[in-house]
Amino acid sequence: MRHRESRGGFQSERQAAAGFMMYVVRTSAIERSLAVVALAACLAFAGAPAHADSRVVVSPLTLPGPYSVACSNISQDFGRVASDESAEDYWDGRPRANGTSRYVTDLLSDPANTLTFSVNAPADGDLYASFAGRTVAYVVLACYPTTADNARLDYALPTGELVPHMQRGADAPLLPDETTRFPLLLFSHGLNGSPLSGDDVHALTVLASFGYIVAAPFHGDPRFLDLSVDDLREVGYVLFNLRDFLALQALRPLSLSATIDLLLADPQWRDHIDASRIGAFGASMGGESTLLMAGAGVTSSLGLSWSTVTKDVRLRAAVGYVPYFGQPLLPAFGRDQHGLDGVVLPYLAISGTADTTAPIVATLQGMYQLAGTRELVALVGVTHGFDVASTNDIFTWTLTFLDAEVRGDPAALRKLLSMASVAGGGNDYVVVPYNGAAALNYGGLWWNAPAESESGWGINFAHQGDVIFATWFTYDVGGKAWWLSMTATKTATGSYSGTLYQTHGPAFDTVPFDPAKVTRTPVGSATLTFADVDDATFAYTVNGVAQTKTLVREVFGSRVPVCTFGVQTSQALATNYQDLWWATPGGSESGWGINLTEQGGIIFGTWFTYDLDGTPLWLSVTATKTATGSYSGTLYQTYGPAFNAVPFDPARVTRKMVGTATFTFSDGANGTFAYTVNGVSQVKAITREVFVSPGTVCQ
């Protein structure tokens, strides 16, 4: 279902058109020059640094990436191309002079083994014009990481370009191994282009060489309206062809979503794709298409109202190169780009300062309407097209952003937070700084810094939205394992405060566990202040004792996950089990829980529960992976210096083995916790605790 937002007042469409066209006619060259001056002022203001270390110049990525690349079957019979035609006419979908159609399907020599699908345009004449209710055919080219010894031949195109290691006949894709699921990257080319035209083949293979399965539909734009790129600069021409231009724009995001459907259903592809990691790269109008796919509203009337086409929540992030946000007088996303209001898709725009087709001033306005993570990078002096001198800049920005937002790569995230430009190449700089820092998630296990100076105690954070639930596992004045908890709410950027509680309840082996017998007593307060995603301070007062500890994130595995709040509505789809867990059904044994921190196939669990006398007790386990979804290890009870000991002597910390624990997960949100403690064996059904909907997911 789509939503149409009307902001055109009480004028009729004809009156609005007349008024708008008069305004366009009156816009002189002098006024256009003033707009450029205003843009320069905007860029100077917007370019102010907004995060720490904003002057870091990073080294460019080495191109291509570490993988060899192969592509799907796109075999064609070029003998069908007449002397007054070119293969590109078919790839682009350009009709003949007599009005008859051309599309790449007319050239396919092996259509049964080529990736194809059809889109049924909704029966909405306002948005799809004469194409409403019709079925439109599409072809897809997929390029992907392959083995270094792939012996399949390249496929030569009449343009001189090569499709590397192309599949022939019913050949299956040859990926590096049969078990790895690679992220999927949609590639949306510019207006009237194709995946085989111009620089697009090169871009597809570079992106695939960094470990993405890249899928690019042939949009065939001239099938809907034979509009040139130069025409986009002429507002009057676009307005007079608005109905067909709307159909062209609206069908693009539908074809991108259908591309995902195609590959996830195809038995040759579905087992190689990580369906939870889907991103997009769009050039020019492709940059607009990815935003429309994420729920943006497209300008749909002469009064600059806007209409949503679709919203595909599977898309995690997108990059737009010289993305089309319309013209200042005719924005792509409604009046003042308000069609972008509420769009949370993480988005990187890379724009040229000399681009008159997709002017950066329109992009800048649109970027500030986005509600999610965003960044705008300017390429000085670049016009509308692929700038060869900026090749390394373009791909370094693109892949760093995609690795951070689609893959959840913590190294890429840290790089992005301080990245201001890429060394060498063209002149690139940040206009709208990356604001992902505002959405940083501090979930995980933390301990005192410098590392191991107070080894033996720690604090676990479950971070959801603006709330952190903290469990501090330490020792009471007698040296016994003791835990305190706090629900800390955000008070400022990077700062969270709350009340510390001591809790008593039924012993860990009580059956049934009665949550009504759990009692909480306030014992003090605490404030967490984060310098970044890895460094913080923990200031607390407990029973009149005030202290401050420096904290760092504890790293014990080969890969620290990146956790994000609110991007995944289904916790069951999570692939990393880091979170706060409790008994199933949720709250049935409210009062105890277990923190799981997963890094590189290892889970460190801290179980906060109660001793036989009802006093707080915590046990810990380092559980290693024994099978898919199963982790096991030894449970320990720990003793050490009291929470307020100064100095805290880690040599006095002792551990006693008390049993074993096994975690078995049926999906990302549900599992069982089987344990034996001092000879008592029990099994609990557990689920993630979501205290701020829809919760946090780690990757």
Structural domain contains residue 173: no
Q: What is the DSSP string of 407-440?
A: I--HHHHHHHHHEEEESSSS-EEEEE---GGGG-
H or E, element range at 5: strand 4-5
One domain, residues 374 and 472 = no
One domain, residues 610 and 550 = yes
Residues facing 135 on adjacent strands: 120
One domain, residues 417 and 475 = no
As to burial, measured by CB atoms within 10 angstroms (0-12 exposed, 13-18 middle, 19+ buried), residue 356 is: middle
Angstrom CA distances, 543 to 113, 314, 445, 482, 519, stand at 72, 49, 24, 14, 17
Give me the pLDDT at residue 341, please.
Answer: 93
Q: How does pLDDT run across 72-94, given as a tens digit for each residue? A: 999 999 999 999 999 999 999 99
Residues 6+ apart with CB under 8 A from 60: 392, 393, 395, 396, 422, 423, 424, 425
- Model pTM score: 0.66
One domain, residues 484 and 346 = no
Q: How does pLDDT run across 461-503, given as a tens digit for each residue? A: 999 988 999 999 999 999 999 999 999 999 987 899 999 999 9
In the predicted model, is pLDDT for residue 12 greater than 90? no
- CA-CA distance, 223 to 669, in Å (whole number)? 46
Q: How does pLDDT run across 178-198, given as a tens digit for each residue? A: 889 999 999 999 999 999 987
One domain, residues 393 and 533 = no
Structural domain contains residue 147: yes
Q: How does pLDDT run across 207-227, given as a tens digit for each residue? A: 999 999 999 999 999 999 887
Residue ending a domain, choose from 438, 472, 489: 438
Place of tokens 């990078």: 377
In the predicted model, is pLDDT for residue 10 greater than 80? no
Tokens of 149: 């010894």
Give me the pLDDT at residue 7, please.
Answer: 30
Residues facing 616 on adjacent strands: 610
Give me the pLDDT at residue 675, please.
Answer: 98
Give me the pLDDT at residue 215, please.
Answer: 98
Residues 6+ apart with CB under 8 A from 238: 227, 231, 232, 245, 330
In the predicted model, is pLDDT for residue 29 greater than 70? no
Q: What is the mean pLDDT of the chain?
A: 89
Give me the pLDDT at residue 47, please.
Answer: 39
Give me the pLDDT at residue 55, please.
Answer: 57
As to burial, measured by CB atoms within 10 angstroms (0-12 exposed, 13-18 middle, 19+ buried), residue 360 is: buried
> Could you tell me where the DSSP H helices lie in 266-390?
285-293, 360-367
Q: How does pLDDT run across 306-330, given as a tens digit for each residue? A: 999 999 999 999 999 999 999 998 8
Give me the pLDDT at residue 181, please.
Answer: 95
Q: 358, 325 in Cβ contact below 8 A?
A: yes
One domain, residues 524 and 486 = yes
Question: pLDDT grade, residue 567 (50/70/90)?
Answer: low
- CA-CA distance, 521 to 501, in Å (whole number)? 5
Q: 312, 341 in Cβ contact below 8 A?
A: no
Length of the chain: 699
Give me the pLDDT at residue 155, please.
Answer: 97
Residue ending a domain, choose from 403, 438, 473: 438
Give me the pLDDT at residue 46, please.
Answer: 40
CATH of the domain at 204: 3.40.50.1820
Place of tokens 């008994």: 583
Question: Which 8-state DSSP code applies to residue 392?
Answer: H
Give me the pLDDT at residue 508, please.
Answer: 96
Which of 224-228, 518-522, 536-540, 687-691 has the least mean pLDDT? Answer: 224-228
Question: pLDDT grade, residue 133 (50/70/90)?
Answer: very high
Average pLDDT over residues 240-254: 91
Total domains present in the chain: 2
Over the Cα atoms of the chain, what is R_g?
29
- Nearest residue to 339 via CA among 379, 380, 373, 295: 295
Beta strand extents in 228-387 (DSSP E only): 273-283, 297-299, 306-308, 315-321, 326-327, 330-331, 347-352, 374-379
Question: Which 8-state DSSP code applies to residue 173?
Answer: P
One domain, residues 305 and 252 = yes
Structural domain contains residue 202: yes
Q: Work out the percent of the chain whose per-residue pLDDT is above 70.
A: 90
H or E, element range at 459: strand 458-464
One domain, residues 220 and 340 = yes
Residues facing 482 on adjacent strands: 474
Average pLDDT over residues 580-599: 91
Average pLDDT over residues 621-629: 96
Give me the pLDDT at residue 563, please.
Answer: 82
Average pLDDT over residues 530-554: 93
One domain, residues 472 and 539 = yes
Question: Which 8-state DSSP code applies to residue 44?
Answer: H
Bond into 522 cis (ω within 30):
no
Structural domain contains residue 2: no
In the predicted model, is pLDDT for residue 27 greater than 90? no
- Nearest residue to 192 via CA among 203, 202, 200: 200
Structural domain contains residue 395: yes
At residue 522, φ and ψ (nearest 5 deg) are -70, 135
Question: pLDDT grade, residue 41 (50/70/90)?
Answer: very low
| Positive or negative torsion for Cα 27, 288, 142, 227 | negative
Give me the pLDDT at residue 2, please.
Answer: 36
Q: How many CB atoms lie within 10 A of CB 520?
A: 13
Tokens of 148: 């270094």
Question: pLDDT grade, residue 558 (50/70/90)?
Answer: confident
- CA-CA distance, 431 to 396, in Å (whole number)? 17
Structural domain contains residue 649: yes
Full domain range(s) for residue 584: 444-698
Structural domain contains residue 3: no
Give me the pLDDT at residue 561, please.
Answer: 84
Q: How does pLDDT run across 254-312, given as a tens digit for each residue? A: 999 999 999 999 999 999 999 989 999 999 999 999 999 999 999 998 889 999 999 99
Give me the pLDDT at residue 566, please.
Answer: 73
Residue ending a domain, choose from 414, 438, 462: 438
- Identify which has the larger pLDDT, 17 or 649: 649
Give me the pLDDT at residue 437, please.
Answer: 54
In the predicted model, is pLDDT for residue 138 greater than 80? yes
Question: pLDDT grade, residue 452 (50/70/90)?
Answer: low
In the predicted model, is pLDDT for residue 38 greater than 60? no
One domain, residues 284 and 391 = yes
Average pLDDT over residues 337-360: 95
Structural domain contains residue 578: yes
In the predicted model, is pLDDT for residue 456 greater than 80? yes
Angstrom CA distances, 600 to 24, 182, 234, 560, 666, stand at 59, 17, 54, 7, 19
Amino acid residing at 289: S
- Report the relative pairing of strands 326-327 and 330-331 from DSSP bridges: antiparallel
In the predicted model, is pLDDT for residue 241 greater than 90? no
One domain, residues 397 and 482 = no
One domain, residues 382 and 463 = no
Q: 298, 332 in Cβ contact below 8 A?
A: yes
- Identify which has the larger pLDDT, 289 or 237: 289
Give me the pLDDT at residue 575, please.
Answer: 85
Give me the pLDDT at residue 17, please.
Answer: 33
Give me the pLDDT at residue 201, please.
Answer: 93
Give me the pLDDT at residue 207, please.
Answer: 98
- Nearest residue to 316 via CA among 201, 208, 220, 436: 436
Q: 672, 685 in Cβ contact below 8 A?
A: yes
In the predicted model, is pLDDT for residue 16 greater than 50? no
